[in-house]
Amino acid sequence: MNLAHVRFGSVEIDRVARPHGIATAKAVPAARVRTDKEPSSQPYGDFLPWVLQRAGLDSSWYRAAPLERRVPACLRALKVSTVHEARFGISGDARLLEIAVGALLNGTTEFFRDRPVFDFLAREVLPALAARDGSIRAWSAGCSSGAELYSIAIQLDELGLLERGVLLGTDCRPDAIEQAAAATYGDTALAKLPPAVRARYFEPIAGHWRAIARLRHSIEWRVEDLASATPEGAWDLILWRNAGMYVQPDAAASTLLRLIARLKPGGYLVLGKAERPPVRLDVKPVAHCVYQRSVQ
């Protein structure tokens, strides 16, 4: 099957224990870094692959252009002016490496992002899954700070289904997973939530808002690189949203194949507004951004 038309390598991941039950990835050694005298066709030299490889991520998986546009934001996050200063700081401080990766792989997310999609999930998808026997398994791949998966947990709870939920969020950025597990958000993040929903599902804490324990305890969070790892098991619902723009076309096509293979027959895949799976894959559109695997 030729998937090269889709518009959208690999590292070995070792899980190690982290606080609060979070698993993380062990960084692999960085590749050789060019000296300043070596030629580069990229505006920032080899800064991008150097950062990604140092974090144990496969730089060939990502498109360069979208990440290059994030370099100024990365430098601001690191409080430096040049990539040379950034290299120096990152080389001596692992925490700065996490900040750099987080800034480059900008995981923009929000609660109930693209509301018509979540309205369809609540109205059609979750009730259909509830009609089946067993648990309701949902995986957010590239979950960022967790807002979208907490949105699913809220919807399950409102339908009286949260106890049947098996919810997993994964992201390649440890700082994103730590934020998701902490479940603490500012006023801006919750600004679009109806007041009744915020009052029911969030509690004030130190000037912020934290998801209530019932939501926090319903979700497992893991640091995993989707370029090289796919959680075991079959899933009723998979969300991989607004990530294809950062990924090489062949890698995005391969990732979609792996995600769809992890869906149960009749399971649902949720993508971003600009993303479309190739027509030959075993899913059909059922709503805006929502696709269903065939029932066999």
Summarize the confidence of residues 205-227 as an average pLDDT: 95
Q: How confident is the model at residue 21 (pLDDT cuts 50, 70, 90)?
A: very low
Summarize the confidence of residues 191-217 as an average pLDDT: 94
Percent of the chain with pLDDT over 70: 85
The amino acid occupying position 217 is: H
The amino acid occupying position 90 is: I
CB neighbourhood size of 66 (10 A): 14
Residue 68 burial class via C-beta count within 10 angstroms: exposed 0-12, middle 13-18, buried 19 and up: middle
Summarize the confidence of residues 22-39 as an average pLDDT: 37
Residue 161 token pair: 């289904």
Helix (H) or strand (E) segment spanning residue 16 = strand 15-17
Range ranked top by mean pLDDT from 9-13, 107-111, 206-210: 206-210
Half-sphere exposure of 179 (CA within 13 A, CB side): 20
**Structural domains in the chain?**
26-104 (no CATH), 115-293 (3.40.50.150)
Overall pTM > 0.85:
no
At 247-286, the pLDDT tens digits run: 888 888 888 989 999 999 999 999 988 787 777 778 899 9
Distances (CA, A) of 154 to 112, 132, 165, 205, 289: 10, 20, 11, 19, 20
